[in-house]
């Protein structure tokens, strides 16, 4: 017996070691790939350059930027501020617009989705209009908002709200419609009235649908804020991109993109945390594909 | 309770000349039940067997008041059923416990819906959780439990309301054989203390005979009663052993003759509908 146990214990240890080795390998390969891409980018934009004429390089850094240039741009922004003011302020402005647009859009989406999901009449009447609005490329509304609401924050928030609203709305609507019929029947037999049926069955059941839409809609909120700023603003990361583009500063565009990517990843992590708090009861609730 | 019509006691469940028609979204009407007469006496355990699609589940939906009959009359404890019947408990074939509530909250939900205060409902739920053998699992969510344990939650959730009439729609059909035997024994134990009348729908004849006082065979749809058999095997029974009693085997053969024809009819139909 003792021998057997020891043998299986050894096997477990071997497996654990193999597992750890594999994780280390994956991690090393990830880092390696990143370094490889950045190094070849840097090399190809630096090799065979003759004098000041960047067009002679293998890849022209004037059009495609270059990692060292992007880094230098970030450092300059951080130290000396951007054309619109301190870098910190630009990030805060964009974040504020994103978060506001996200919150308002989610709230409106849930309210309308639930109300229309519960009322056959309303959804039949309003259905075609909502479909038409949804079919429209809503980013063009940004121009209207810029004209109507001006260059300050409201026009960006409005665009973010419009983008977020539809995602959440359709999920909330579907969530209310797809409530398990057995669960409803069970609740009614157990004594639930219409109000309890709604708060104890319909809403929790729709919640998992709504939360699944939060990942996508947070991304849309960021798109709304950036595009809004791009179309006309006094501050924000979108304006930084527009300014960099206007002065053919490709490193500036990449640097702003990098900042956006970091913001998006942090926001995504936040939503995932929120999700696991709100739907503890459901395993593997994330419907998005994870690699 | 009102005095019955000459029989001395009021039937717990009474269906008289009940027909139920459904209209599907395409506009075609189809008859699930036709002229069904069924009576379950107070405290009786009545099993309803029949082939797939014979309207067994519809029968329970009518008794519970979830669906109104197209024609005929449904009475529970002497009064006609209008809307959801408060004295009924219903156990579904699929899991119908709430996945977002833990075990304790799932069991407490019945009293809560019926206006009992939170602490009261919870202390009653605690008792029921123990009675169905789930002590220690109060804070678990349904997805953390096995199929058998989820059925125990459903059983407690149903019984905590003290239903006089218990409707069960193949509640154990999704369980493995051993778990099923355990749950059937558990059900008989719990039922014997409640005195409720049971309508137990199943397509498993062995389960029907082992559990019930009476087996009703329903014809292939539209469903109507084909035959009734009294199960005169004394209680308390052990579900695992009752199957070997000679009387059990006799009854099985007798009822199976009736049921077999209906199963064949239903089978032929599904074959044709698949072919067409």
Q: Is A282 on the interface with B (CB under 8 A)?
A: yes
- d(C-alpha B190, C-alpha B194), whole Å: 7
Domain boundaries, chain A: 2-64, 81-278
**Structure tokens, B236:** 């308390």
Q: What is the model's pLDDT at position A289?
A: 45
Predicted pLDDT at B6 = 42
Query: What Å distances lie between residue B244 and B214, B248, B253, CA to CA?
Result: 19, 7, 13
**Are the C-beta atoms of B88 and A189 separated by less than 8 Å?**
yes
Q: Decide which of A29 and A49 is more confident.
A: A29
Question: For a pLDDT cut of 90, what percent of chain B falls above it?
Answer: 61
CB contact under 8 A, A185 and B109: no
Q: How far is it, in rounded angstroms, from Cα B8 to Cα B42?
A: 12
Task: Specify the pLDDT at position A6.
Answer: 67
**What is the structure's pLDDT at A7?**
67
User: Minimum mean pLDDT among A22-26, B24-28, B55-59, B108-112: which range?
Assistant: B24-28
In chain B, which residue ranges form alpha helices assigned H by DSSP? 56-64, 103-113, 118-131, 147-159, 177-194, 205-211, 239-242, 246-275
State the pLDDT at residue A2.
Answer: 53
B161 neighbourhood in chain A, CB within 8 Å: 190-191
> A188 vs B84: CB contact, 8 Å cut-off?
yes
**Lowest-confidence range among A111-120, A132-141, B105-114?**
A132-141
Distance CA A51, CA B157 (A): 82
| Per-domain boundaries in chain B | 1-87+164-241, 97-162
* B37 φ/ψ angles, rounded to the nearest 5 degrees: -115, 130
Q: How confident is the model at residue A290 (pLDDT cuts 50, 70, 90)?
A: very low
CA distance B8 to chain A (A): 29
Query: How does pLDDT run across B210-237, given as a tens digit for each residue?
Result: 999 999 999 887 888 888 999 999 888 8
Kindly state whether B101 is in contact with chain A, defined as any CB-CB distance less than 8 angstroms.
yes
What value does the mean pLDDT of chain A take? 87
pLDDT at site A46: 84
Estimate to the nearest angstrom the gap between the alpha carbon of A89 and the chain centroid.
21
| Residue A276 tokens, joined | 């696991």
The helix/strand/coil state of A258 is: helix
A81-278: which CATH number, 3.40.50.720, 1.10.3720.10, 3.40.50.2000, 3.40.50.300? 1.10.3720.10
Q: Under CATH, what is the fold of the domain B1-87+164-241?
A: Rossmann fold (3.40.50)
Contact flag A201-B98 (C-beta cutoff 8 Å): yes
Q: How far apart are CA A170 and CA A110, in angstroms?
A: 9
Give pLDDT tens digits for A73-106: 999 998 888 888 888 999 999 999 999 999 999 9
Amino acid B1: pLDDT: 38
- The model's confidence at residue B59, banded by pLDDT at 50, 70 and 90, is very high
**Residue contacts between A and B (CB atoms, under 8 Å):** 61
Q: Are A203 and A122 in contact (CB under 8 A)?
A: no
Smallest Cα–Cα separation from B106: which of B144, B146, B142? B142
Q: In Å, how far is B74's CA from the nearest CA of chain A?
A: 17
Question: Around Cβ A229, how many Cβ atoms within 10 Å?
Answer: 29
Q: Quote the CA–CA distance of A186 and B161 in Å, as a whole number.
A: 13
Q: What is the pLDDT of residue B246?
A: 92
Q: From residue A81, give the alpha-carbon distance in Å to each of A62, A114, A164, B90.
A: 22, 45, 31, 69
Give the C-alpha separation, A242 to A182, whole Å: 54
Q: Determine, for residues A281 and B102 on separate chains, whether the beta-carbon distance falls below 8 Å.
A: yes
Neighboring chain B residues of A279 at a CB cutoff of 8 Å: 100
Q: How far apart are the first and last CA of chain B?
A: 53
Predicted TM-score (pTM) above 0.90? no
Distances from the Cα of B116 to the Cα of A125, B161, B166, angstroms: 40, 11, 21
Question: Could you count the other beta carbons within 10 Å of the beta carbon of residue B106?
Answer: 25
Beta bridge partners of B36: B18
Q: DSSP strand E in A154-274: where?
A: none
Looking at the complex, does the CB of residue B143 fall below 8 Å from at least one CB of chain A? yes
- The answer to whether B180 touches B196, Cβ cutoff 8 Å, is no
DSSP letter assigned to residue B234: P
Strand ranges across the sheet with B13-23: B29-40, B13-23, B71-76, B79-80
User: What is the distance between the alpha carbons of residues B177 and B243, in angstroms, rounded to a whole number?
Assistant: 14
Answer yes or no: are the C-beta atoms of B22 and B6 closer than 8 Å: no
pLDDT tens-digit series, residues B152-175: 999 999 999 999 999 999 999 888
Among candidates B52, B82, B85, which has minimal Cα distance to B69? B82
Contact of A207 with A174, CB cutoff 8 Å: no
Determine, for residues B66 and A280 on separate chains, whether the beta-carbon distance falls below 8 Å.
no
Q: Using the beta-carbon criterion (under 8 Å), do A187 and B89 form an inter-chain contact?
A: no
């Amino acid at each position: 017996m003792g021998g057997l146990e020891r043998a299986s214990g050894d096997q477990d240890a071997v497996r654990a070691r193999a597992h750890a080795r594999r994780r280390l390998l994956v991690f090393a390969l990830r880092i390696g790939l990143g370094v490889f891409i950045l190094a070849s980018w840097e090399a190809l934009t630096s090799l065979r350059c003759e004098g000041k004429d960047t067009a002679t390089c293998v890849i022209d850094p004037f059009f495609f930027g270059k990692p060292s240039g992007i880094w230098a741009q970030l450092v300059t922004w951080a130290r000396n501020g951007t054309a619109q003011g301190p870098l910190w302020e630009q990030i805060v402005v964009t974040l504020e617009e994103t978060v506001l647009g996200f919150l308002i859009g989610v709230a409106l989406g849930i309210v309308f989705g639930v109300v229309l999901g519960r009322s056959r009449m309303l959804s039949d009447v309003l259905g075609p209009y909502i479909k038409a609005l949804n079919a429209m490329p809503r980013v063009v509304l940004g121009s209207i908002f810029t004209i109507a609401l001006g260059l300050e924050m409201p026009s960006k928030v409005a665009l973010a709200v419009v983008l977020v609203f539809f995602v959440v709305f359709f999920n909330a609507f579907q969530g209310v419609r797809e409530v398990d019929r057995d669960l409803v029947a069970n609740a009614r037999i157990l004594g639930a009235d219409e109000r309890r049926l709604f708060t104890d069955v319909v809403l929790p059941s729709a919640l998992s649908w709504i939360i699944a839409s939060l990942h996508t809609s947070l991304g849309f909120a960021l798109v709304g804020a950036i595009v809004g700023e791009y179309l006309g603003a006094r501050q924000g990361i979108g304006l930084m991109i527009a300014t960099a583009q206007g002065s053919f500063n490709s490193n500036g565009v990449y640097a702003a993109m990098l900042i956006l990517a970091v913001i998006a990843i942090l926001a995504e992590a936040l939503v995932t945390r929120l999700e696991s708090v709100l739907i503890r009861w459901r395993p593997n609730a994330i419907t998005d594909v994870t690699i | 309770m009102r005095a019955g019509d000459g029989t001395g006691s009021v039937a717990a469940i009474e269906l008289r000349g009940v027909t139920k028609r459904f209209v599907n979204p395409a506009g075609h009407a189809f008859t699930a039940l036709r002229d069904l007469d069924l009576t379950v006496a107070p405290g009786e355990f009545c099993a309803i067997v029949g082939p797939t699609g014979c309207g067994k589940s519809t029968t329970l939906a009518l008794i519970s008041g979830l669906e109104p009959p197209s024609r005929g009359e449904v009475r529970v404890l002497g009064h006609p059923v209008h809307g959801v019947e408060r004295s009924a408990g219903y156990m579904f074939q699929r899991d119908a416990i709430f996945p977002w509530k833990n075990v304790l909250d799932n069991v407490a939900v019945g009293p809560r819906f019926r206006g009992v205060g939170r602490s009261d409902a919870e202390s009653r739920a605690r008792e029921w959780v123990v009675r169905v053998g789930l002590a220690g699992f109060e804070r678990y969510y349904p997805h953390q439990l096995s199929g058998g344990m989820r059925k125990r939650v459903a059983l407690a959730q149903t019984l905590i309301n003290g239903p006089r009439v218990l409707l069960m729609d193949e509640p154990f059909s999704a369980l493995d054989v051993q778990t099923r035997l355990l749950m059937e024994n558990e059900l008989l134990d719990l039922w014997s203390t409640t005195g409720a009348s049971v309508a137990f729908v199943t397509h498993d004849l062995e389960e029907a005979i082992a559990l019930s006082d009476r087996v009703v065979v329903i014809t292939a749809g539209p469903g109507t009663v084909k035959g009734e058999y009294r199960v005169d095997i004394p209680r308390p029974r052990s579900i695992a052993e009752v199957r070997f009693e000679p009387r059990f085997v006799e009854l099985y053969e007798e009822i199976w003759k009736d049921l077999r024809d209906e199963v064949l009819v239903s089978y032929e139909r599904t074959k044709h509908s698949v072919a067409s």
